[in-house]
Chain A
Amino acid sequence: AQKVTQAQTEISVVEKEDVTLDCVYETRDTTYYLFWYKQPPSGELVFLIRRNSFDEQNEISGRYSWNFQKSTSSFNFTITASQVVDSAVYFCALSNFGNEKLTFGTGTRLTIIP
């Protein structure tokens, strides 16, 4: 069975602070994919990143960075120099090779205080 845990239900930080959102996953498969999505107040989930289980290199995209560690089954997401527009609910998700089903975590609501 697959499971994604986002232990942080809500986080608030002051604008320009860095913030890390945690994601821990469980799967018995050796080939799997991890995703992060952002859900702003408008409701539409926005795809941020897709990473496969064989690629443990950290990735940076502008102010966003992701730290994938198979040893701890974690795929954490860091926003550097946060901005008010980063306020949203962020979801981590997992899918196995050959399976289009995404297993989502319960999400972390991030509020950036101006």
Chain B
Amino acid sequence: ETGVTQTPRHLVMGMTNKKSLKCEQHLGHNAMYWYKQSAKKPLELMFVYNFKEQTENNSVPSRFSPECPNSSHLFLHLHTLQPEDSALYLCASSPRRTSDPHEQYFGPGTRLTVT
């Protein structure tokens, strides 16, 4: 596997379900990100992890819970979601070698539908 992979690619869940999204990067990067992409809205940054430490939580509701066990893996745990949470969830990684913002490399996303 190369680049950034995400599983599952599609997920349908009810509002009372608990599910997890998985992201894995094979690029040796130090930073990982979760974004939410809704129709007709800019990509919204949700969480940032640098060297496994969470450095950004962009006022995300607690029904979204991230986990970063190591620099290569990132999870997004979902519970009691709302229909408005239906969106494409994108994972990304970047080198973060210096304080300069680096380009981020994105996975293909998980299309989430909450019913």
Footprint of B on A, CB under 8 Å?
4, 33, 35, 37, 42-47, 50, 52, 91, 95-107
Contacts and interface: CB of A to CB of B under 8 A. Distances in A.
B103 interface: yes
A101 B99 contact: no
13 contacts: A4-B42, A43-B88, A43-B108, A43-B109, A43-B111, A44-B106, A44-B107, A47-B105, A50-B103, A100-B33, A100-B102, A103-B42, A106-B42
B110 to A, nearest CB: 9
Given A96-B101, A102-B104, A45 B48 contact: no
Interface residues of B, number: 28
A100 B43 contact: no
B100 A97 contact: yes
Interface of B: 31, 33, 40-43, 45, 48, 50, 55-56, 88, 90, 92, 94, 96, 99-109, 111
Contact of A44 (B33, B45, B109): B109
Contacts of A35: 103
Given A43-B88, A91-B43, A106-B40, A100 B106 contact: no
A44 B100 contact: no
Given A102-B45, A104-B42, A97 B105 contact: no
A3 to B, nearest CB: 10
B101 A102 contact: yes
6 cross-chain pairs, A with B, having the tightest CB-CB distances, nearest first:
A95-B101, A45-B106, A44-B108, A104-B43, A98-B99, A47-B103
Contacts of A105: 42
A16 B75 CA distance: 43
Contacts of A104: 42-43
Nearest to A105: B42
A114 B108 CA distance: 26
Nearest to B99: A98
